[in-house]
Amino acid sequence: MTTPSDERAPEAAEVDLPTQYQPANVEGRLYERWVSAGLFTADPGRRPDAPAYSIVIPPPNVTGSLHMGHALDHSIQDSLVRRRRMQGYEALWLPGMDHAGIATQNVVERELAKDGKSRHDLGREAFVDRVWQWKAESGGRILGQMRRLGDSVDWTREAFTMDDRRARAVRTIFKRLFDDGLIYRAERIINWCPRCLTALSDIEVEHADREGELVSLRYGSGDDEIVVATTRAETMLGDTAVAVHPDDARYKHLVGREIELPLTGRTIPVVADAHVDPEFGTGAVKVTPAHDPNDFEIGRRHDLPLLTIMDERGVITAHGPFQGLDRFEARPAVVAALRQEGRIVKEVRPYEHAVGHCQRCSTVVEPRVSLQWFVKVAPLAKAAGDAVRDGRVAIHPPEMAARYFEWVDNMHDWCISRQLWWGHRIPVWYGPDGEVVCPGPDEEPPAGWTQDTDVLDTWFSSALWPFSTLGWPEESADLKRFYPTSVLVTGYDILFFWVARMMMFGLYAMDGAVPFETIALHGMVRDQHGKKMSKSFGNVVDPLDWIDRYGADATRFTLLRGANPGGDVPVAEEWAQGSRNFCNKLWNATRFALMNGAHVRGDLPSAGELTTVDNWILSRLNTVIAEVDAQLEGFDFAKACETLYHFAWDEVCDWYVELAKVQLADERAGATRRVLGEVLDKLLRLLHPVIPFVTEELWTSLSGAETVVRAAWPAADAARHDAAAETEVASLQRMVTEVRRFRSDQGLKPGQRVAAALDFGGSPLAVHEEGVRTLLRLTEPGEGFSATASLPVEGVTVRLDTAGAIDVAAERKRLEKDLAAARKEADQARRKLANEAFMAKAPEAVVAKNRDRLGQAEIDIERLEAQLAALPAAPAG
């Protein structure tokens, strides 16, 4: 099919649209117009009878910039919100940023380091002021990038996790949790970064497989001998026990006895603990409670001492020859000393295992006992699990619920304190005699008391996001109107780290009201081969680069077209190019329609006043509306985009517009203009949530209205379903497709005109003769017409005169060459399949492959023989 051209039919109209779509000339202008017109601003008091719909944006880091994961996440949310606005909802999409404690402090500290200074040179108060200054000058770059993508957020409600309203919310919920005994301070094992010098949350630790060294050590001697293995030999300096399984007969005689711990001059007990796997290794494990989370739990069960043998920077503090060594320097030194004592049972050997690294600086994380603040999560996590189990919150896709339950049902107490200066400072004060007080946000601490120096984990304040952004703890109009939020859209990778925390705090703070009704999870953006995007792999794609080259619409459409619920999303540049071509196709089709008088004025003609082709496209349009509605309600953006893409390109542009060209040139033009306007009007509205810019430009040109942003969402009209018209046009499409295939097989160019006689007999396709001739480039048979080929298809006989249209001799030579190759392929496959020795020894897959070769070759032979038979006879002489 050809792209609609600029050729004019009678009564053509002047059109303001440029001949080509240039996204850069449209997107910025349209976005600023939308914002200045207040089209994205929600009003809790407006239209009280309209349903409310709200989404709070997962707050990007203040240090961040738009990456493909953001682009996918925001495109999904924007599509949801734009559609709901069109459906008449009072819709709020609330933007904001996270203060990103560790990341932001690192950025500012690096800036200070350029001047040879550290935060300690400034002092805490001056350093925090410096961070606020950086935030005002350089932070939040991603907000401008969100505009480039087309995010229809309500900028009047922009929030920040450290602004005054959010700070009040943090103080309020901390006080409430503290008073309810759900916040406590204790020594526990936590993730510690020796570079950032702070505790880390689980999400701030990235695990990667690394090749380490596994060494087997002998503790004790003689009958008391026991062998353990470790990749962290330096931690044996802090061992306070060896653990075995209670049912392991090999070690029953040792349980309760003391054995010698090499290099230390200490003895340690052997304890029985069910955590030990007797089938793994020797069935005995060293226990270092102060430096391993599993060992810490064993230590608590057996009341073992906590022996810290390295400081906050990972330097060994245990008295002896290793004191002062970095942990990685101490490791080979300890192994060498053990070897000298004859304690190495098995020499050091390579061993690949998962190693945790700080997300911000890539330093290897050290498990470490530390005095920290914790949230007691058991009652909160149970409530979060119950809300999904009893249906108050739906997880989509549903199969992701099992992962959610696995996390919330096994959650450990949450370490919420961080040893930073940037963040919400722990609102606890200490008195001169050890007294502790936690005043509320409107209360003053006692004079002279000292505030805790730590700040709260970033996830603590972002866990309040669904309600703190709406005004909580005040009973604001926004909170009453838009809470609970309608849907949370986020990647499955932070289902536990963020979503579960919001569930816990939302249910707690809002007296059992859930923070969102639906959790819609999407996958990770990957390259076209399904590989994770990584700078080290060299496959990272910058969405802003695609926006610059192909436009925001093409970028969004590429992402959403791959967004199957819960699945990862592969992307490739050629797909973005294809999406740009799709936008251009819509542009050209709409421009053609406008030039030929398409409009949306007045009522649509009744079915009886329209042609079969008109009724067919209206029937298909209404089916597509129903399908897209169902797909979007199910968060299946990939299917919705595929449905719209194929309807727009294949059916509207490649079939209806081409057939409409015939009708626009005769007495049917008036009705066809109205139908063409109707189809494009609704198609552009259906596409608007996904590709907002090009649809706005085209729809306003077609409708004459100011914006499609608040235009009504199309509703399917069952009365327009016309099964007979769909059947007839489907037959017409099959006929045209078959003749095109025949033309191609004969070597005819798509635009090459060929004389043909059409014998419709009693076929209902007779009414489409003019359209058939237009689509197939068939001219009327003239004087001396002589058919050289006859093709019966769909009850119609098409007789063509291809003499002179092709080089018969050359075409025959080409076909005969291809036929000879096909016959040779078939002969080879037959011989193999007839060979008993081959059939007896060859794997089934190889035999099947040869059967497939034979089958395909036989199909090719039949096709080529038919094409040769259809060729005109060679000229005499």
Binding-site residues for ATP, in ranges, read: 535
Token digits of residue 828? 């080879």
Amino acid at 252: K
DSSP type of residue 20? S
Q: Which residues pair with 571 in a beta bridge?
A: 527
Residues with Cβ < 8 Å from 839, sequence gap 6 or more?
Answer: 833, 847
Cite the beta strand spans of 604-760 per DSSP E: 754-759
Give the residue ranges of the annotated binding site.
Answer: 535
Task: Return left, alpha or beta for 55; rule: phi > 0 is left, psi -120 to 50 is alpha, else beta.
Answer: beta
Residue from 414, 520, 404, 515 nearest 459 by CA: 414
Q: Which residues pair with 210 in a beta bridge?
A: 353
DSSP type of residue 276? S
Residue from 48, 87, 51 nearest 710 by CA: 87
Buried-exposed string 157-196: b where 16+ CB fall within 10 A, e elsewhere: bbbbbbeebbbbbbbbbbbbbbeeebbeeeebbbbbbbeb
Sign of the dihedral through C-alpha 487, 490, 495, 497: negative
Residue from 93, 92, 96 nearest 163 by CA: 96
How far, CA to CA in Å, does 787 sit from each of 743, 784, 868, 870?
14, 10, 15, 10
Around Cβ 379, how many Cβ atoms within 10 Å?
A: 12
Residues with Cβ < 8 Å from 818, sequence gap 6 or more?
Answer: 860, 864
Report whether 692 contacts 82 (CB < 8 A): yes
Buried-exposed string 132-145: b where 16+ CB fall within 10 A, e elsewhere: eebbeeebbebbeb
Residue from 199, 214, 275 nearest 242 by CA: 275
Report whether 100 contacts 462 (CB < 8 A): no
Distance CA 118, CA 229 (A): 41
Report whether 235 contacts 288 (CB < 8 A): yes
Around Cβ 852, how many Cβ atoms within 10 Å?
A: 11
How far, CA to CA in Å, does 603 sit from each of 606, 620, 674?
9, 19, 9
Residue from 643, 724, 23 nearest 652 by CA: 643
Residues with Cβ < 8 Å from 287, sequence gap 6 or more?
Answer: 239, 240, 241, 242, 243, 271, 295, 298, 299, 304
Distance CA 456, CA 173 (A): 12
The CA dihedral of 780, 783, 788, 791, to the nearest 10 degrees, is 30
Distance CA 497, CA 204 (A): 10
DSSP type of residue 790? E
How far, CA to CA in Å, does 864 sit from each of 166, 477, 589, 818?
74, 74, 37, 8
Distance CA 301, CA 27 (A): 63
Report whether 30 contacts 696 (CB < 8 A): yes
Distance CA 502, CA 522 (A): 18
Around Cβ 2, how many Cβ atoms within 10 Å?
A: 11
